Structure 1
């Protein structure tokens, strides 16, 4: 048995074997170890469905790759993976569900996933056993279906061996130790004894340069061994197998094709054929999380007791949908653990705080994702980055504030929401409020309707003061929800008067020390600002794509205040610290880094009246001149006093109006808020939420990380050369320049429908052919029409280019406009007073 390998994969389910296959195929010396038998975890009892896509752009690509890859496995390995390409029929009982499917269609089209829309009559004509009386229609994917989980896992395992990988069963990992160059993994051979798996006493070590954990239900044990947090905890999933349906048997006997996988989302269930009968799987309310802290040693390929009462509504709905199955008896049942994460997407990428340790955990659709995860994770490991942006799946999207209790309760919610309508403005309620600012209650009393970002409660908009508790929930829509007029008024207030946004959730780091200046100079692509000034800049990946966006404030010669996106605190902190460690290890000067996110609150004040408003609170010998261009120019920072609160004021506004960010000690936030609100009465101050800010920043073509900026595009492709200093050396520069411009970021104005705005997931067309996609969308109060930002092929990026935007299954006129179409000369931002 080998004791030294390039990569060690821990876990022998579908995900682990998919990773081992692709690493071995990439030429890495790879070993996989499994504590029991291959497929003995959730893989063995999975239903094997292969839904091609969901609302995540990255996950859609992963699923699409898997479906295509599985179809090629038999030719390569000689093993039939058991892929039944029967299609996938997503049915809708309501118009709102059809609206959801139209948004699904946008994501599918941008990712190149084929699909069709069917009417109830077309469904009935193709599959007469399905009752269509209550249906509005369906979204149909003819290219996917279901697969045998054990067969596809064994096929990938054989393929991995053919590419040189080693697979060892009955090997349990008991510890990990990093030497500075490699991982030493403590292992123990396991043995069968009385139907149980027990340690044999044979212990040994495997040295691996890289380790990947794909431990499924055992993720909590893995987290403890690594000393990190992994919010992957299993939830019970039930499905039943029914006896033969005589009508189905006759249907197939007559030479008719197998039914597609039938997804009755409004009934929280799926149905597929199984040897003349049916399988019913459900995603019901009330399914409990299991193994919150560890899987018992006695639990192997085991199941839980079926809870039929929990799924009786779904069972009744199936009989209504396929009446011929009413007399079919129950043949078998399954209730097993399947891992979830708080947002339902897997955790794929580098482990927080560790070197060469990779996570592939939390797969609720592990069979569907196994092949694609192996493909893209192998790219990340062997090439430095994947060809798609994997940031949305990064394990560091949850910080150390996350606890086991939080993960368990949110995972239960995530399970129950599989078939709940997924509005783009969806905000889930479990475990909230959790992280709140000192003014949370004040804002709530003033009508704040909150969203959650990185655990923080952040106002999305301010609704009516007497709004019922379910106002936001009931007002959601795939079109313009009940929130829309409030957001429109907020956006207009900033354009015409003065508004204030709570931006406390911003990520904030203090970087200082003798090596700070040299480090940040090579870490980011723009010139560093002078003391008291700020710059917008980017840290790049080794491929030259955008890893993080920073606003850098220079406090002193060797002291910097870095502000970045609030959703990415742990993600940014990990990258920043590891890069600084590399810099110091290479001989650079000492750098001290502190995450000060929770120490500073932020209020962003913006609008034509913002200077006069703030002047009324400034404490200074000449208060009327403190905020003037002479004393406080654009893109600068000053320490000022507002009443009794010391404020680090930054003259910048993400909304594109005259404005300041007021960074203040978090313990003084309530005091400052009260002073601002009292003074604001004379100026018509309006509280503004994140949705209006998102609309306004698009009028200025301000790119957002996670939307326009990410690891699949360079700053040059984002059309940001003004923030790149080509005269200096910086990380990723050569790769950025060598990549060229494959696509170009543009802003478009759209003549769209009267009752809907783009969400930033729509396809852009020329003569019916896809030439790009939106990454952001909304409404422009300045232009009175829909607005969006996105990427197009370079030949379609010129100002004035006419495009079409597909939304709600119709094509709408769109036109590429100049960058920053609102106030392109920044005259309103620079105005003196």
Structure 2
């Protein structure tokens, strides 16, 4: 009996919309995780989207910790499908050979290799001679070496999708084809999804007059190229827009045929990153896939109804350089004719990572969109998303893939399309950790942007904002490269050193306007925040550092809370996570309003600018401009002690000054009405000249906070570790009840955050992606942050190790540039451990 001939369900626990590799994997894993009532609907046939024309490569290479875990799971999982389902997924485990033509590309691979080790991804290094010995058809004369992943290769996209679909059906999932989701309505308890049955007419797929409404507790959208249609139906923005991707198939290559006829194994997937292309065998010939410049975005406002499993015309001129590069790399293919070509839509996001997690502003609506490497990511996405939906959290921190990393308030279709085109042509660009991509910039600028630029500011991109990374020389020669990137110490490094020294020895001014800021107030605000966060709430006029936890007791958000009145609070959190934090905060308030009473929450991020002034001379600068009856004492410890807030006037600007400094020096955060920012900037820079004040960027600040062991959200703090594992017991009040407390106590300490001083190479510092080893060679942890310490004159890093090793003086090794370097666990806050400097009076 055909499973689709049965009476279709109309009430389910989870409805998955989209029948490509990602959607079928999600349905499979939800059922495997224990949900018995799962349904998948597909508007056409399974695999009829980008899945059908995908090349099926399974690259393990990825600089993202979460994405590497996802890819690794997929590679391992696909190898088990045939035993479970009886269907061969077409997995050719031929390996993946990443070749390098330059030393800098080898540095990229060295950094990635250490990251791969933290996720258990195997690899080997090959020299050009070793490559030539194994695969003599490859021209290796201009190669420096290669990174070889011998456990992956390529797979048949349609076969693996059908295998997952069969596995899903075997676990009770109902899969319905030719059913299009046309509207979504949240009733307050469940979703009502109205679907239209689709019919074939003249070779096209058209809507019939027959509709059905499916009620579902949870909905997952995995709509691929149709993400913009999904976004309109849900009333949200999804920055997933396809880009044209081309690959060609050659006719037979006699030299390859002869090679295989001699009993030699199939070539690995050959990735020539410096030529922006990959090559693999295909029935005696070759497939060439390219990531060229000027590939256009498509379907920016939706996929035409007439477009099904269709393709675009090939643009050979656009890929001519890559075609010639293939002939250079595989000379034997020169006489092979063109057998077939593909130019189809592949969905992208601005940073290349998919959008996986809860939809912004919606309940029980989950997104799995924007997969540029969908076959590679499908298995792992299903596994980890199912954990989030069934258990409340995944075993790895999925925040870096959260759809809310792009703010609903500023992300537009134009932004997504242009950034996605940029992301496509950057697939094989060297991915420096200090990379800053130029498309769609500047977009969000604080008022002082032009003044900072005139002072030599070199900006980074954070949540759409332009934020100074460092200040370069104003008298630079014409050939000075402000964008000099490196896997070692880039062109910006010495400027960041000078800025960090200025904060430690004098005074520096930092723009922190991008900070996320919320006002929470009302009769229920105090009870709510006491439950929502794990630390004691501050008294009026004081501040506290605290954490909002997940249901698993791990860290969801870090907040600096300023208590403005008995029932009014100013919450400051990381600038990169505004929509992410706002969504979680608002939903929690909605859930608790009946219990705690009326609570108001306002995102005031764009209303308040922030300057941080820090260093031994910071008080001296502020004394020059503060307006008070006694300017000499208004900033002293008696009237303005550490960890307090005071409303002061700096010239004509009313300022909410907070005595705290992320650099660990004497300092203040100066929160001010953003429309007065330029006036305040001019006052501060003028007053600072007398005291030698230096303008300071985010990179120096990042180094300085590591010298104080200040954890950063997205690095040391995340949804895979509790605050106790982050070694922050002083910010957890176990005497009160708070969200996630039971799980926090139940979890215990599985690993522990530490700070390390590192005797690394003379020309490089860690980036926070490296593996940590015991002296006997056992891997014992990983770095989450890294940089240079001006206080100690050597590299510094923070990371997680086994709890028994988290002892001051423990000797470890850190993997940098494919070598092990000595590292010593130091005391928490190695610079000024007693906080004497930050409390100094004056």
Equivalent position to 2:416, from 407, 417, 425 = 407
Deviation of residue 819 (structure 1)? 0.2
Q: Distance in 2 between matches of 1:435 and 1:399?
A: 12
Deviation of residue 146 (structure 1)? 0.2
Equivalent position to 1:743, from 747, 751, 765 = 751
Q: Distance in 2 between matches of 1:786 and 1:819?
A: 16
1:576 aligns with 2:595: no
Match of 1:268 in 2: 276
Deviation sequence 1:607-656 (CA, Å, 0-9, x none): 00011111111100001101000000000000000011000000000000
Q: Distance in 2 between matches of 1:739 and 1:141?
A: 34
Tell me, yes or no, if the aligned pair for 1:654 and 1:693 is still in contact at 8 Å: yes
Match of 1:566 in 2: 575
Match of 1:824 in 2: 833
Deviation sequence 1:681-721 (CA, Å, 0-9, x none): 10001000000000000000000000000000000000000
Match of 2:522 in 1: 513
Match of 2:807 in 1: 798
Q: Distance in 1 between matches of 2:689 and 2:33?
A: 64
1:219 counterpart SS class:
helix
- Give the TM-score of the pair, scaled to structure 1: 0.99
Match of 1:229 in 2: 237
1:289 aligns with 2:312: no
Q: Distance in 2 between matches of 1:745 and 1:182?
A: 40
Q: Distance in 2 between matches of 1:115 and 1:749?
A: 28
1:240 aligns with 2:243: no
Q: Distance in 2 between matches of 1:467 and 1:516?
A: 52
Match of 2:715 in 1: 707
Match of 1:322 in 2: 330
Q: Distance in 1 between matches of 2:543 and 2:321?
A: 59
Equivalent position to 2:647, from 633, 639, 644 = 639
Deviation sequence 1:711-737 (CA, Å, 0-9, x none): 000000000000011110000001001
Match of 1:660 in 2: 668
Match of 1:420 in 2: 429
- Closer/same/farther in 2, CA of residues 467 and 432 from structure 1, 3 Å limit: farther
Deviation of residue 193 (structure 1)? 0.6
Equivalent position to 2:497, from 476, 488, 506 = 488
Deviation sequence 1:804-826 (CA, Å, 0-9, x none): 11100111100000000000000
1:660 counterpart SS class:
strand
Q: Distance in 2 between matches of 1:422 and 1:471?
A: 21
2:114 counterpart SS class:
helix
Deviation of residue 588 (structure 1)? 1.7
Tell me, yes or no, if the aligned pair for 1:53 and 1:64 is still in contact at 8 Å: no
Tell me, yes or no, if the aligned pair for 2:472 and 2:482 is still in contact at 8 Å: no
Match of 2:552 in 1: 543
Q: Distance in 1 between matches of 2:761 and 2:389?
A: 44
1:170 aligns with 2:178: yes
Deviation of residue 132 (structure 1)? 0.2
Equivalent position to 2:359, from 351, 376, 385 = 351
Match of 1:131 in 2: 139
Match of 1:23 in 2: 30
Match of 2:260 in 1: 252
1:150 counterpart SS class:
helix
Deviation of residue 53 (structure 1)? 3.2
Deviation of residue 27 (structure 1)? 1.9
Equivalent position to 2:209, from 201, 209, 222 = 201
2:838 counterpart SS class:
helix
Deviation sequence 1:128-167 (CA, Å, 0-9, x none): 0000000000000000000000000000000000010000
1:146 aligns with 2:140: no
Q: Distance in 2 between matches of 1:466 and 1:196?
A: 63
Deviation sequence 1:174-201 (CA, Å, 0-9, x none): 0000011100000010000110001121
Q: Distance in 1 between matches of 2:377 and 2:493?
A: 36
Tell me, yes or no, if the aligned pair for 1:292 and 1:404 is still in contact at 8 Å: yes
Q: Distance in 2 between matches of 1:515 and 1:473?
A: 50
Match of 2:5 in 1: none
Equivalent position to 2:345, from 337, 340, 343 = 337
Q: CA RMSD in A?
A: 0.8
1:374 counterpart SS class:
helix
Tell me, yes or no, if the aligned pair for 2:557 and 2:581 is still in contact at 8 Å: yes
Deviation of residue 468 (structure 1)? 7.0
1:504 aligns with 2:513: yes
- Closer/same/farther in 2, CA of residues 457 and 468 from structure 1, 3 Å limit: farther
Q: Distance in 1 between matches of 2:121 and 2:475?
A: 45
Alignment of 1:214-225 (within 5 A): 214-225=222-233
Tell me, yes or no, if the aligned pair for 2:458 and 2:482 is still in contact at 8 Å: no
Deviation of residue 537 (structure 1)? 0.1
Q: Distance in 2 between matches of 1:471 and 1:227?
A: 46
Gaps of 5+ in 1: none
1:326 counterpart SS class:
helix
2:633 counterpart SS class:
helix
1:379 counterpart SS class:
helix
Equivalent position to 2:772, from 758, 761, 764 = 764
Deviation of residue 471 (structure 1)? 5.1
Tell me, yes or no, if the aligned pair for 1:490 and 1:687 is still in contact at 8 Å: yes
Deviation of residue 466 (structure 1)? 3.6
Match of 1:35 in 2: 43
Deviation of residue 473 (structure 1)? 5.7
Q: Distance in 2 between matches of 1:432 and 1:351?
A: 26
Q: Distance in 2 between matches of 1:461 and 1:467?
A: 14
1:68 aligns with 2:76: yes
Match of 1:305 in 2: 313
Deviation of residue 337 (structure 1)? 0.1
Deviation of residue 469 (structure 1)? 8.7
1:439 aligns with 2:448: yes
1:80 counterpart SS class:
coil
1:522 counterpart SS class:
helix
Deviation sequence 1:765-802 (CA, Å, 0-9, x none): 01111000000000000001100000000111111100
Q: Distance in 2 between matches of 1:235 and 1:806?
A: 36
Tell me, yes or no, if the aligned pair for 2:550 and 2:739 is still in contact at 8 Å: yes
Gaps of 5+ in 2: 1-7
Q: Distance in 2 between matches of 1:805 and 1:8?
A: 45
Match of 2:128 in 1: 120
Tell me, yes or no, if the aligned pair for 1:447 and 1:466 is still in contact at 8 Å: no
Tell me, yes or no, if the aligned pair for 2:541 and 2:565 is still in contact at 8 Å: yes
- Closer/same/farther in 2, CA of residues 654 and 393 from structure 1, 3 Å limit: same
Match of 2:537 in 1: 528
Equivalent position to 1:786, from 795, 798, 809 = 795
Tell me, yes or no, if the aligned pair for 2:482 and 2:491 is still in contact at 8 Å: no
1:207 counterpart SS class:
strand
Deviation sequence 1:409-447 (CA, Å, 0-9, x none): 000000000000000000000000000010101100100
Equivalent position to 1:278, from 280, 286, 291 = 286
Deviation sequence 1:302-331 (CA, Å, 0-9, x none): 000000000000000000000000000000
1:735 counterpart SS class:
helix
- Closer/same/farther in 2, CA of residues 471 and 411 from structure 1, 3 Å limit: farther
1:686 aligns with 2:694: yes
- Closer/same/farther in 2, CA of residues 813 and 453 from structure 1, 3 Å limit: same
Match of 1:618 in 2: 626
Deviation sequence 1:487-542 (CA, Å, 0-9, x none): 00000000000000000000000000010000000000000000000000000000
Deviation sequence 1:11-49 (CA, Å, 0-9, x none): 000000000000011121100000000000000000000
Q: Distance in 2 between matches of 1:633 and 1:350?
A: 41
Q: Distance in 1 between matches of 2:472 and 2:478?
A: 11
1:179 aligns with 2:187: yes
Tell me, yes or no, if the aligned pair for 1:449 and 1:472 is still in contact at 8 Å: no
Match of 1:7 in 2: 14
